[in-house]
Structures are given as structure tokens and as C-alpha cells.
Amino acid sequence: ETGVTQSPTHLIKTRGQQVTLRCSSQSGHNTVSWYQQALGQGPQFIFQYYREEENGRGNFPPRFSGLQFPNYSSELNVNALELDDSALYLCASSLLVYNEQFFGPGTRLTVL
Amino acid sequence: QKEVEQNSGPLSVPEGAIASLNCTYSDRVSQSFFWYRQYSGKSPELIMSIYSNGDKEDGRFTAQLNKASQYVSLLIRDSQPSDSATYLCAVNPSSGNTPLVFGKGTRLSVIA
């Protein structure tokens, strides 16, 4: 059974740039959730995708957007990067909506 | 605002002792409860889930849920230095279409 994978592992961008993060869900899982984790904080929910549709969104501005593909992999796009976007971005997959979620290794984004 | 509260720690216990980690949540209708372990610089790893009042045991880990008191705890028996990590409590505030809400985590240090 293949676990959740994410790419890239680390990324450095400058303020105002755009970034795309990628996630492949665990085999058999049809739901992908994205979280942002700042240092010393718990993960904060960004949004979730189920069967290629956005299925819930947290308190994040529209410059955070996403996609899910037919193979259940997913992308997180962030436009007009701000310094406060520096964080660990986590992707989690699950079989049922909001059931047990399994995290990928994360992408560490640094915005300079 | 649905909230999950944890003592940030650090909680220090000697090797071989029982570590007790606590979590309270604000939404009385919460249905599902999860404990994740997160090593420094890594992503969260699901270690326990609990859905009904009472205790659930898995190896050295026991999760305890008291919905009337809105309280969930994690006991780690025979604590090992390798258990040193941040433990995140996550709650599904209601059944169905709601995201997980995470606490900020409790940092556990097991002293050899």
C-alpha cells in the first residue's frame, strides 16, 4: 500500500510569487485535505477535495486554491505569496470524508 | 468558534513512567477524536482514534473519551525516549461535512 506523497520537500519563494504544491493520496483514498502548520501551532484546515470537487474550506483567502484530479491526486496553489505564508503545508488523505486522515511528509515553504 | 485545547508543555516524564496527555474540546456534538504524534520537523502520524465513551487500548497507548466532560486523553505506558514528540489532539466537531480541528499540541519529553 502506497502512502501519501508530497512534492517538493522544500521550497523558497519571494513575496508576490506564486507556488504550486502537489500531493498523491494513499492508494484507495478518494478524499484529500490540505492544512497549513505554522511553527508551534496545530495544523489549520485550508480546504478539502472529494471526487474532484471542493468539499469544505477553512478561513483562508481566495489566493489559496486547489484542484483534485481523477486519480485523486491534488494540487494546492498560492498566489501573491506573503511572508506569513511561510509554513509547513500538509496534505492528508482519507477513505471517507473527514474520517481518519493520513498525512504526507509535508512541504516546507519559506517566503522571503 | 470550535476549539480544541491542550497544555503546550513541555511534559517531562522519566523513562518507564506513564505519560498522560489531555485535551478538551468546545463543541458538545463532536463525534470523532484522534491523537497524532509529530516528531520535530516531520508530519503528524495517526496513533489512535476513538469514537465512543470509555477506553481504547493499542499496545502501550490508551485513549480515553468522556463526552459528558468534553475531554479526551492519551496515556502512554512504559514511556521511552523515542516517545519524545509533540502530541496533537484532533476533533471532528460533528458528523459528516466538517473539517478536523487540531489543538496546538503537547510537547512530551521522556528522560532516560
Q: Which residue of B has its CA nearest to A89?
A: B43
For residue B35, the chain A residues in CB contact (below 8 A) are none
Nearest in space to B8 (alpha carbons), one of B76, B111, B86, B109: B86
- Judge whether A66 is closer than 8 Å to chain B, CB to CB: no
Contacts of A22 (CB under 8 A, 6+ apart): A6, A7, A73, A74, A75
Which pLDDT belongs to residue A97? Answer: 64
pLDDT per position in chain B (112 positions), as tens? 679 999 988 999 999 999 999 999 998 888 899 999 999 999 999 999 999 999 999 999 999 999 999 999 999 999 999 999 999 999 987 765 578 899 999 999 999 9
The set of cell numbers assigned to B90 is 484532533
For residue B102, the chain A residues in CB contact (below 8 A) are 35, 42-44
Which pLDDT belongs to residue B102? Answer: 95
Burial bucket for residue A62 (CB in 10 Å: 0-12, 13-18, 19+): exposed
The Cα A16–Cα B8 span in angstroms is 34
